[in-house]
Amino acid sequence: MKTIAFIAQKGGTGKTTLALSLAVAAQEAGQVAVIIDLDPQATACNWGDRRKLEAPVIVDAQPARLVRALEKAEESGVDLALIDTPARSEQSALAAAKAADLVVIPCRPQIYDLETLPNSREIVNLAGKKPSLVLLNAVPPWPGRQEEALEAAKTFEMPVCPKMLGHRAAFGDAAALGRSVLEYDSTGKAAEEVREVYKYIMRQLAK
């Protein structure tokens, strides 16, 4: 079983949306995925309630019980575990980073978000310098904006995913129905971007 932790010390970066989207992408690719929700706001769990489907499984957990939750997931035949963490909670972020094979740090292409990357890097280092990846999210579709965002993220000297997610209404529309964009509009641009991010992350996990 492979484990991905989604951490960011700023709220609104898209950790939950990304975790849910990649879980459904994994399911689409034939993997068994589980989402472990460490956020007291239980956003992922609420999405699962609206979804009313058995998969992907969402587990409501606390940082102190994370290791056991992952053990149970592996015993149940899960291929991919995705840990969603709350913002501004170093305890949850550190626990998730320690347990992960890869730490993904979603970040919007704005200076307020980018400036929090060193805090996330510090958590990754405290966890034992786990492999990590900055993933740009909600990138405006303006010409040249993607390239500008990538260059800005690289200045913080952290690995940056060359694939990114655009600022698209489909993410919010799908979430309101308990769906991912892969199910809401399977041939849309948002779904295409999620699949590209999923493939890239799977390649990183295979290294």
What torsion do the CA atoms of 182, 101, 122, 159 make, to the nearest 10 degrees?
Answer: -60
pLDDT at site 136: 94
Q: What is the mean pLDDT of residues 183-192?
A: 97
* Phi/psi of residue 154, nearest 5 degrees: -65, -20
Share of the chain above pLDDT 70, in %: 100
Asked if residue 142 is part of any domain, the answer here is yes
Q: What is the mean pLDDT of residues 186-207?
A: 96
Asked if residue 159 is part of any domain, the answer here is yes
CATH code for position 197: 3.40.50.300
Asked if residue 207 is part of any domain, the answer here is no
Question: CB-based contacts of 21: which residues, under 8 Å, 6+ apart?
Answer: 171, 180, 181, 182, 194
pLDDT tens-digit series, residues 103-146: 999 999 888 888 899 999 999 999 999 999 999 999 988 777 77
pLDDT at site 111: 86
Domain count within the chain = 1
Q: How far is CA 81 from CA 55, 111, 117, 162, 189, in A?
A: 13, 30, 23, 23, 25
Where in the sequence is the domain holding 95, given as residue range(s)? 2-202
Tell me the C-alpha distance between 177 and 183, whole Å: 10
Strand order in the sheet with 57-60: 57-60, 33-37, 80-84, 2-6, 102-107, 132-136
pLDDT tens-digit series, residues 15-60: 999 999 999 999 999 999 999 999 999 999 999 999 988 899 999 9
From 94, 93, 84, 104, select the one nearest 33 (Cα to Cα).
Answer: 84
Asked if residue 141 is part of any domain, the answer here is yes
pLDDT at site 147: 83
